[in-house]
Amino acid sequence: MKSTGSWYQVRLESGEILECRIVGKLRLGGIKTTNPIAVGDEVNIEKEEEGKGLIKGVLPRRNIVVRQSPRRKHDLHLISANVDQAVVIVTIIEPNLKPGFIDRFLLMTEPYNIPTRIIVNKADLYDEDTREVFGGLKIMYEEIGYEVMLVSATSGEGLEDLKNHLKGKTTLISGQSGVGKSTLVNAIQPQLELRTGDLSDHSGKGQHTTTFAEMFELDFGGFIIDTPGIKMLAFNNLELLDVAHNFREFFEKSPECKFGGQCLHRTEPKCAVKAAVEAGEISEMRYMNYLTILDEIENQNYWEIHEM
């Protein structure tokens, strides 16, 4: 249910919550992570004194969501496990939209085929021009298979549709700081009373209000995993072709490239993806975000080699 680093809250089938610690060192299939257990993991435990227990093993995972550790770039940080779907929350304004963040988030969920929906919050602040921006975003992502919703935690717009989407499923909910993630969750499930924060007057960015990932049960059915606000996502853990294969419209087009599934869609001749970008069939913005991620991975690896 909740991970705080050294202690874990484990929910039993009976609904009882135990405070548990790990026994020894868990070996988890060669994945080098900063945390051995993620929220959503199913575990074997041994009860100790009342309300306490030992975690003795982790059951096989259906999927995981991982990110490059922000503190140790050679390690991965487990965000969650065994989710049915993911939701990434963004805003058009307050704070301003960062389309690159959407693509980076999708790069975490796409490798595990985790259905992901893009939720645009703070609809009550949007004028006609801002809603046109939303319309363009919706068209761009829905053309490649991602559903996009407009909601407002303040006015209630879109909340019933969102609740229906969450019902009966385990959903990872994430987003950058300041997009109103906690306010939105509170609007859906008021009794949770998650702590919320305002935008910083100095930077215009959000303040972190969630410290650790935590799972909450929804009274209308299902669970949500609330995560700390994300400032940035890097992918030193991925190979360049991993990135190419997980931009789904690029992957679908790649059999038409001269080099097929080995094409990185940069300088290669007869690249079908580049041709599709030039023809307006693939989003130029998505393509530029893709190139930026490739450059970052190469630059990280370059400095790693030259610092040794």
Residue 149 lies in a domain: yes
Q: Are residues 173 and 277 in the same domain?
A: no
Residue 270 lies in a domain: yes
Residue that finishes a domain, picked among 226, 248, 263: 226
* DSSP string across 268-284: -TT-HHHHHHHTTSS-H
Residue that finishes a domain, picked among 226, 256, 289: 226
Res 7: pLDDT: 83
Residues 271, 265: contact at Cβ < 8 Å? yes
Alpha-carbon gap, residue 189 to 233, rounded angstroms: 28
Strand order in the sheet with 223-226: 43-47, 52-58, 17-22, 8-11, 2-3, 214-217, 223-226, 170-175, 85-91, 116-121, 148-150
Alpha-carbon gap, residue 45 to 279, rounded angstroms: 56
User: 237 - beta bridge partners?
Assistant: none
Residue 256 lies in a domain: yes
Phi first, then psi: give them for residue 279, nearest 5 degrees: -85, -5
pTM for the full model? Answer: 0.87
In the chain, which residues have pLDDT < 70? Answer: 1-5, 25-31, 70, 72-73, 195-211, 301-308
Res 114: pLDDT: 97
Per the structure, the count of domains in the chain is: 3
Phi first, then psi: give them for residue 90, nearest 5 degrees: -135, 170
Alpha-carbon gap, residue 144 to 135, rounded angstroms: 15
Alpha-carbon gap, residue 172 to 187, rounded angstroms: 17
Residue 234 lies in a domain: no
Q: Are residues 218 and 277 in the same domain?
A: no
Res 14: pLDDT: 87
Using CB atoms within 10 Å of the CB of residue 245, give its burial: 0 to 12 exposed, 13 to 18 middle, 19+ buried. Answer: middle
Res 304: pLDDT: 41
Which residue shows structure tokens 């259906």?
Answer: 62
Domain that holds residue 88: 74-226
Q: Are residues 22 and 120 in the same domain?
A: no
